[in-house]
Amino acid sequence: MRKNKKIKYNGTKVCKVCGRELPIENYIMIYGKNRLHTCKECTKKSREKSLYESALQQYFSDESMHFKRKYKKIDSSRILRKNESGIDFIARDERFVKLLYYKDTWYSSHGRVVEYRDGKYKVQRGSKDKRTGKRMFTLEKEKYVKPTKIFKYVKHRVSAEELAVETFIVNYDKTNNTRIWHQLNNENDLYYKNLYPVTEKQYDRLTELQNESVFPLSEDLIMQVINAVEYKQDGWNPAHYRRGMCGIGYSGMTVGTEGCYEKSYTKWKDMMQRCHDREVHKKYKPEYADKCVCEEWQNYANFKLWYDEHHVFGNRIDLDKDILKPGNKEYSPETCVLIEHYINTIFERHAQDNIYENEDGKYFVGSNRKKVYETYDEVFGFACNKKKERIEKVAEKNLGRIPKCAYDAMLRYDVEALIRRDVIAA
């Protein structure tokens, strides 16, 4: 037997990388009978290293994989007006923005919280956490209780800085951005433009840099630290940030996930393809060619966090983007809700909603030819009221089974845009 032959008579083989003598089953078979000289564990490590190095080179050259400083678009319907609240602003650019899943609560761009209680808008002072020194608020937040399958408000303690980031700042990596950097490292400064969601290592590095300077760190310098490889979280892998889904989506770093086998991943993949896959637009969904997914949700890990928190049970659950904001073109945590499919279908135009004109110039709705109207305005008003009553009936039936923001949106839903179409000849 040749000296360099590694297979032994007892069915083992020595790995040429780690030097361990392992059972033959620990080696990958090639060409049907021969096996690699490297064990499966070492082969896997080698491949992972190769993929990491390749992705790292791409990270250095591909700007799309780098995080950028961006703020969220705030819909005007969420802003609390001064003439309604009677609360004076502390700065010219202060805005109070409605928090979707909190009970009648608005958060200010300068760190203030307003609640509507007993018919009045009141500014909440909050309290200072003795351990961390952060400004904290105890608010009523909506939570889906799985055993009862009902939404209910529960007491939720949250910091002002967390509310600021959630409301105003695009947070590319919610799983790993566990700290919030304040400009000048001043945690009393809650102005949203002075806050940055960062990892632990990034926070420590920014603290070092700030201690060396009496001036505020520039935004360019802060973003350099955020995008520097050496300050990423432990276990960071650039391969997870490649824009592989439709050229813009990436998996991110998820915790406790089964990857593509999870329902959240299926929802995310379908959403991304509907909005950003040109082949889908050509063959199946041309109406989605002008729709998009927000930057936070281009990271699957971010979408999974939202999905797991807001997931509801039902025969078929839809990710809807139009109930909260009719005509909306962007999928985002501020515009989407999870609801049962049958609820979602009432916002579609059905045959029973159509307005018809018969031979003698009179109008009727749906298949009810007996109830006719002399003018279009009359039949249009009837069709709108009929649709609105149906939506309100479904909303009342599902009160507590859908988020309160969805319930309120259903009650105020503008059905005129849905009904107003060309008259159909009977």
> pLDDT (tens digit, 9 = 90+) per residue, 363-381?
888 888 888 888 888 888 8
Residue 95 shares a structural domain with residue 1: no
pLDDT by residue (tens digit) across 246-288?
Answer: 999 999 987 555 556 689 999 999 999 999 999 999 999 999 9
Residue 217 shares a structural domain with residue 320: no
For the segment 49-78, the average pLDDT, to the nearest whole number, is 94
For residue 414, tell me if it sits in a domain. yes
DSSP assignment string, 25-39: GGEEEETTTEEEEEE
Number of domains in the chain: 3
DSSP assignment string, 57-88: HHHHH-GGGS----BPPPPGGGEEPHHHH-PP
For residue 370, tell me if it sits in a domain. yes
pLDDT by residue (tens digit) across 230-249?
Answer: 999 999 999 999 999 999 99
Residue 333 shares a structural domain with residue 205: no
Residue 397 shares a structural domain with residue 248: yes
Q: Among the three residues 208, 231, 254, which one is the final residue of a domain in this structure?
A: 231
Rounded Cα–Cα distance for residues 28 and 157 (Å): 52
Instruction: Evaluate if residue 3 carries a pLDDT over 70.
Output: no
Rounded Cα–Cα distance for residues 189 and 85 (Å): 24
For residue 11, tell me if it sits in a domain. yes
Q: Among the three residues 206, 231, 256, which one is the final residue of a domain in this structure?
A: 231
For residue 57, tell me if it sits in a domain. no
pLDDT band at 8 (very low <50, low <70, confident <90, very high): very low
Mean pLDDT over each residue of the chain, to the nearest integer: 91
For residue 62, tell me if it sits in a domain. no
Residue 162 tokens, joined: 């967390």
- 354 lies in which domain range? 241-425
3-state secondary structure of 101: coil
Burial of 256 (0-12, 13-18, 19+ CB in 10 A): exposed
Q: Among the three residues 231, 261, 276, which one is the final residue of a domain in this structure?
A: 231
362, amino acid identity: K
What sign does the dihedral 376-379-381-383 (CA atoms) show? negative
CB distance 354 to 366 below 8 Å? yes
Residue 254 shares a structural domain with residue 114: no
For residue 58, tell me if it sits in a domain. no
For residue 353, tell me if it sits in a domain. yes
Residue 196 shares a structural domain with residue 326: no
Residue 253 shares a structural domain with residue 116: no
The whole-number pLDDT of residue 397 equals: 95
Residue 264 shares a structural domain with residue 359: yes
Residue 210 shares a structural domain with residue 321: no
CB distance 338 to 318 below 8 Å? yes
Residue 124 shares a structural domain with residue 252: no
Lowest mean pLDDT segment, chosen from 24-28, 176-180, 327-331, 334-338? 24-28
Residue 193 shares a structural domain with residue 259: no
Instruction: Evaluate if residue 9 carries a pLDDT over 50.
Output: no
pLDDT by residue (tens digit) across 126-158?
Answer: 999 999 999 999 999 999 998 999 999 999 999
Rounded Cα–Cα distance for residues 252 and 269 (Å): 14
pLDDT by residue (tens digit) across 179-215?
Answer: 999 999 999 999 999 999 999 999 999 999 999 999 9
Lowest mean pLDDT segment, chosen from 31-35, 96-100, 178-182, 326-330? 31-35
pLDDT: which is higher, 6 or 194: 194
pLDDT band at 355 (very low <50, low <70, confident <90, very high): confident
Residue 166 shares a structural domain with residue 28: no
